[in-house]
Amino acid sequence: MINEAELDTAVNIIARGGIVIIPTDTIYGLSCDPDNIRAVLRLNSLKGRDRKPYIILDSDFQRLGKYISYNNFVVTFTNFLFENSLWPGNITVVTEKNPDLEYDFLKDRDKIAVRLTDFYPVRYITDKFGSGIVSTSVNTSGGENLNDFDIIDREWGSKVDLVVKGDSTGNKASMIVELFNDEEMIRILRSSDDLSAVKIRKKFRILD
């Protein structure tokens, strides 16, 4: 069981601009404050990648409006996820961002990727922090996702400020669905859960 004191430490590190590795309901993830430019740049360096958007992982659906721009199609799609118990869960939604959002790594982009989860360690951290956090796989760009604590601690422990030990409940990265609001269509960018994909494909028009 994860110690709350360790989760409190993770919250404090994120708030100070540090980088942590935490278990999630999909796979272990690298996390930091998305609003801290230095933290994101350091994460880019660790990942070995240039400017690229990251997923925002949060636990409170009431904070969604901070990240995304609502319209009828977004409401229809997110309601579908909730009603079918797909959210909170392992589905990342890419949609138009809130124009007032000022994350530096999204300043030249119109869309944002957001995932809601009720996984306890993430919920504890995001609720204490009061905002969503960056979440990205533990690997260098293009490399294999790491999801074993001992390997992660050995290979990444000295590179980050904390590795939280705990069991992730999955072994695959999240499914990613992009919304095209004007067309009221979706595109499945990555599918890791066939059953969820089937449900979504039956309900919404797919953009190839």
Express each pLDDT in 127-155 by its tens digit: 999 999 999 999 998 889 999 999 999 99
Q: How confident is the model at residue 166 (pLDDT cuts 50, 70, 90)?
A: confident
Question: Whole domain around residue 57: which residue ranges?
Answer: 4-170
Domain count, the chain: 1
The whole-number pLDDT of residue 38 equals: 97
The reply to whether 203 falls in a domain is: no
Query: What mean pLDDT, rounded, does the chain reach?
Result: 94
The reply to whether 185 falls in a domain is: no
The whole-number pLDDT of residue 171 equals: 79
CATH number for the domain that contains residue 121: 3.90.870.10
The reply to whether 179 falls in a domain is: no
Contacts of range 169-172, beta carbons closer than 8 Å, 24 or more positions apart: 169/25, 169/26, 169/119, 170/24, 170/25, 170/26, 170/27, 170/90, 171/27, 171/147, 172/26, 172/27, 172/90
The reply to whether 205 falls in a domain is: no
The reply to whether 196 falls in a domain is: no
The reply to whether 130 falls in a domain is: yes
Total-model pTM: 0.94
Out of 18-22, 50-54, 165-169, 175-179, which region has the weakest mean confidence (pLDDT)?
A: 165-169
The reply to whether 155 falls in a domain is: yes
The reply to whether 110 falls in a domain is: yes
Name the token pair of 192.
């890791």
